[in-house]
Structure 1
Amino acid sequence: MKRLFWIVYLIGVLGLSYYFIDKACSKNYGHKVVVCIPVYGQSYALGEEATRITNFDSLRIKYNGRIVTEKLDYTFGYFDHSSQFKQWLKRVLHYDKKAFELSVYSMAEELALQLGEDTVICIFPGGHGMNTIQQLMKPVEPYNKFIREIATAYDKAQDRGWEFIVPAVCWMQGESDIVEYPDYDYKEYFHRMYNDLNTDIKQVTHQKEDIRIICYQASTITKGLRYKANNYDATEPKAPTAQMELIRDDSLVWVSGPTYPYDFVNESLHIDAVGQQNIGRLAAKSALGIIRNQKRNKGLVPMTYEVEGNDIRIDFNVPCPPLCFDTTQVKKVDNYGFNVVRRDGVDIVSDVTIDQNSVIIHCAESPQNAKLRYGINGEFLKGGRNVGPRGNLRDSEKYVSNWCLMFEKFLSR
């Protein structure tokens, strides 16, 4: 018992010391604007299996302490969704066994490079793995905890006399809505989730500007146990297609990118650390656009479809022309990832070509009443740029390319 007492006592002393040091240091801060852009979702948001490659000390030193967590400090990587006490204990003991690579680390670096020295970038993850969108909506505990941590960051900024704003939240969720086959409209639930986030965050920050969502796209098509190649009645494409349509059509949703162009850990479920970093750099493009009130970034998405005889012409929004097929970063897949599937499960695509900002899909017969798909393929239960669901279409951005989002479209008469 005495040993337990002294352990608890020591933890308490360390915690109080941490608190008072933080309070003392805060007296020396001048005026700052805290730009808070956290990430919320399931395991992708938490970086599961992505071995950390960001050095936290270097992150703090290189950017003059301008990248912080929800505590407005530098204790990165101590997220725990199960208990506030466990998260606090991990911080005190510097326990980082599950400190994974998060997309928001590279996003924050890009923002720190682009924004002024009076700007502080606040980042942290929220959510819970293996949850559908319905299971992450208000009033579940992961959601409540996420809002509380935004409030923590806001309160600390107020204590220091700093301005505080949440321009956007990064959204990384969708895998469970592919593989668990829930019976609801993903877009409907997304809008309900967004309305709650927007209302609750604005109540915390008192800002007038609506929160934007920076949305990635889930690609774990083949992890669904009902998955079969060229299955006309497949439901696995529904959630990714819904995400693409939200990014394309909703004025409050901006893009980061799809996950398929990257390596998956063990070619299974999660992207690796490099993939997380690339998603973060793409998110930074949208974050900067939101902050600077620029034209909305929709990424590489199909805008219109036109059937001409046996051919289909798809016109794309192309951020950085021209379009190209890349079979180096992503291993070549049949017809560069495009399928046109008849009701009997036969793919009738004979060839695919690029014409400026458009793709022409040549079919062996009329594609009317067939389903046009991109990226709906891959080996059963596999993921990633070599064997998973994928396509080869991207734009010509040299730094981090914009890859075409997956989609499905019914070609009615």
Structure 2
Amino acid sequence: MKQRFSYLLLLAVLAFTGCQTKTSEKKTVLAIPVYGQSLALGEEAIRITDFDTLAATTNHTVLTENLDENFGYLSETPFKQWVKKVVNDRHRAFELSVYGMAEVVSAHLKEKGYGDSLLISTFPGGQGASGIAEISKGSKAYKKFLDEIEGAYQKAQDNGWNFIVPAFCWMQGEDDIVWLKSKNYKKDLKQFQVDFNRDVKAITKQRQDIVCISYQTNCLTLSKDFNENHFNSREMGIPQGQLDLIREDSLFVGSGPTYPYSFVDDRVHIDGLSQKRLGYLTGLSVIRLLESKPNTGLLPTDFKVSGNTVLIKFNVPAPPLVLDTTAVKYAANYGFSVINSENENILQQVTLKDNVLKLQCKKSPSGAKVRYAVNGMKEKSGFKQGPRGNLRDSQGAALTATILKKSYPLHNWAYQFDKLVN
């Protein structure tokens, strides 16, 4: 059963402390870092965020793991990270999704009247080209991440500030898709959240559980063995595991899939613009979490087989549903397929009416797998050629993001899925 969170009450208390006089003001740090492999570290994502502008536009409420504004000195070891900071080496200061996330959350808190009583500490952690087992508890990357959280906590204590980790952002899975390392990704990711939750709470002494805000990785075609019509698609274990946890577990919420975005060379890494766009959606997920309205996103909730037809109902955050072939290049049958045990795609037609999707098949789909966004060109990712689909909601009609003077609608796009139906 889904738990209910009490972060709204927490923020009410923090608002009271924020209204005290400056001499007695009790600030609170909300630490929301990102962790994973190369996408979490922004690899190849040319930076859009100007660090000085980030500080100024957020009223100096967004801080690093050192509770300062010296962003962009990430390295694999604390010593190298320190050296980069000393010599001002920002050669690999890429765009990170959490910059956009922090901008959105900071603006929301300002609008709610928290001023500078609430600070956001955000920073990246993890290790590129690594499977989930290689960055989990016991690894060097995991220890460094915990050490940085503990360091931030100690600095907050020294300043007389409160410190809490309400959530962390997860961006990992590409390595496990390509090399099929994890045997049960859903179990492995849940264990990571359990370990991280326990270890961080031991540092901060907080009572609140730490929520994982997970994206969904969609780079199926980077696997040399991928076959979109194969009944057993091992590559789907990773994105499906992420989706299942978002749908079933109260300590997981979603930010969104990656297929609607542009990738560097259409391959592994989303680019700087895409990091920013996904970061804004992540920011909305953080806000909803803090307001006890956790986000699940656009995902299927019910599958019904009737004759040669499958009817799919969705959780639709912002109706109506739309089949959009402009923002995402048209995929056959809008990204849907129905694969039977003979490795045959039996789907003939897709229709959408009243937020219910109808899949008309050429024979009974009972015992087949209904799929979405399980397709694409070999070694490609993203909205033009990679595994993708055309189904979204209409959240972007009301919520947009302006990046480099261009407006981008913040729609929720349907998650990639693989569902056996009977």
- With the length of structure 1 as denominator, give the TM-score of the two structures: 0.91
| Other-structure match for 1:202 | 201
| Other-structure match for 1:56 | 51
User: What letter is aligned with 2:68?
Assistant: D
* Deviation (angstroms), 1:151: 0.6
| Other-structure match for 1:401 | 411
* Deviation (angstroms), 1:271: 0.6
| Other-structure match for 1:190 | 189
* Deviation (angstroms), 1:228: 2.1
* Structure 1: distance between partners of 2:28 and 2:394: 34
User: What letter is aligned with 1:36?
Assistant: A
Identity %: 46
- Aligned positions of 1:122-271 closer than 5 A: 122-182=121-181, 184-271=183-270
Check if 1:368 corresponds to 2:370: no
Check if 1:72 corresponds to 2:67: yes
| Other-structure match for 1:381 | 379
| Other-structure match for 1:358 | 356
* Deviation (angstroms), 1:291: 1.6
| Other-structure match for 2:301 | 303
What SS does structure 1 have at the residue aligned with 2:144?
helix
Residue deviations 1:321-353, cap 9 Å, x none? Answer: 010011111000000000001233221111111
Query: How many residues are paired up?
Result: 384
- Whether contact under 8 Å (2:133, 2:182) holds in the other structure is no
Residue deviations 1:244-274, cap 9 Å, x none? Answer: 1111111110110000000010011111111
| Other-structure match for 2:90 | 96
* Structure 2: distance between partners of 1:244 and 1:379: 23
| Other-structure match for 1:20 | none
- Whether contact under 8 Å (2:166, 2:209) holds in the other structure is yes
* Structure 2: distance between partners of 1:401 and 1:391: 14
* Deviation (angstroms), 1:183: 5.0
* Deviation (angstroms), 1:149: 0.4
User: What letter is aligned with 1:407?
Assistant: F
Residue deviations 1:153-192, cap 9 Å, x none? Answer: 1111111111111100001111112111125211111121
Shifted more, 329-338 versus 61-70: the winner is 61-70
- With the length of structure 2 as denominator, give the TM-score of the two structures: 0.89
Check if 1:106 corresponds to 2:100: yes
* Deviation (angstroms), 1:29: 9.6
- Whether contact under 8 Å (1:317, 1:357) holds in the other structure is no
* Structure 2: distance between partners of 1:298 and 1:176: 24
* Structure 2: distance between partners of 1:34 and 1:392: 39
What SS does structure 1 have at the residue aligned with 2:348?
strand
User: Gaps spanning 5+ residues in structure 1: where?
Assistant: 1-26
Shifted more, 220-229 versus 48-57: the winner is 220-229
- Whether contact under 8 Å (2:182, 2:188) holds in the other structure is no
- Whether contact under 8 Å (2:131, 2:182) holds in the other structure is no
User: Gaps spanning 5+ residues in structure 2: where?
Assistant: 1-21, 401-409
What SS does structure 1 have at the residue aligned with 2:160?
coil
What SS does structure 1 have at the residue aligned with 2:170?
strand
- Whether contact under 8 Å (1:29, 1:160) holds in the other structure is no
Residue deviations 1:76-104, cap 9 Å, x none? Answer: 111112x2111001111111110000000
Q: Runs of 4+ in structure 1 displaced over 6 angstroms?
A: none
- Whether contact under 8 Å (2:176, 2:182) holds in the other structure is no
* Deviation (angstroms), 1:355: 2.1
* Structure 1: distance between partners of 2:28 and 2:232: 50
* Structure 1: distance between partners of 2:190 and 2:373: 25
- Whether contact under 8 Å (1:268, 1:384) holds in the other structure is yes
* Deviation (angstroms), 1:130: 1.2
* Structure 1: distance between partners of 2:315 and 2:32: 26
* Structure 2: distance between partners of 1:158 and 1:381: 48
Check if 1:274 corresponds to 2:278: no
What SS does structure 1 have at the residue aligned with 2:129?
coil
| Structure 1 residue corresponding to 2:344, chosen from 346, 356, 359 | 346
| Other-structure match for 2:404 | none
Check if 1:34 corresponds to 2:17: no
Change in Cα spacing, 1:141 to 1:201, as seen in structure 2 (3 Å) is same
* Structure 2: distance between partners of 1:175 and 1:372: 23
* Structure 2: distance between partners of 1:183 and 1:277: 29
* Deviation (angstroms), 1:229: 3.0
What SS does structure 2 have at the residue aligned with 1:43?
coil
| Other-structure match for 2:12 | none
What SS does structure 1 have at the residue aligned with 2:395?
coil
What SS does structure 1 have at the residue aligned with 2:352?
strand
User: What letter is aligned with 1:142?
Assistant: A
User: What letter is aligned with 1:167?
Assistant: P
- Pick the structure with greater CA Rg: 1
- Whether contact under 8 Å (2:64, 2:122) holds in the other structure is yes
- Whether contact under 8 Å (1:341, 1:348) holds in the other structure is yes
Check if 1:290 corresponds to 2:289: yes
What SS does structure 1 have at the residue aligned with 2:120?
strand
User: What letter is aligned with 1:172?
Assistant: M
Residue deviations 1:298-343, cap 9 Å, x none? Answer: 0001111110111101110000001001111100000000000123
User: What letter is aligned with 2:219?
Assistant: T
CA RMSD of aligned residues (A): 1.4
* Deviation (angstroms), 1:28: 8.9
| Other-structure match for 1:9 | none
- Whether contact under 8 Å (1:52, 1:101) holds in the other structure is yes
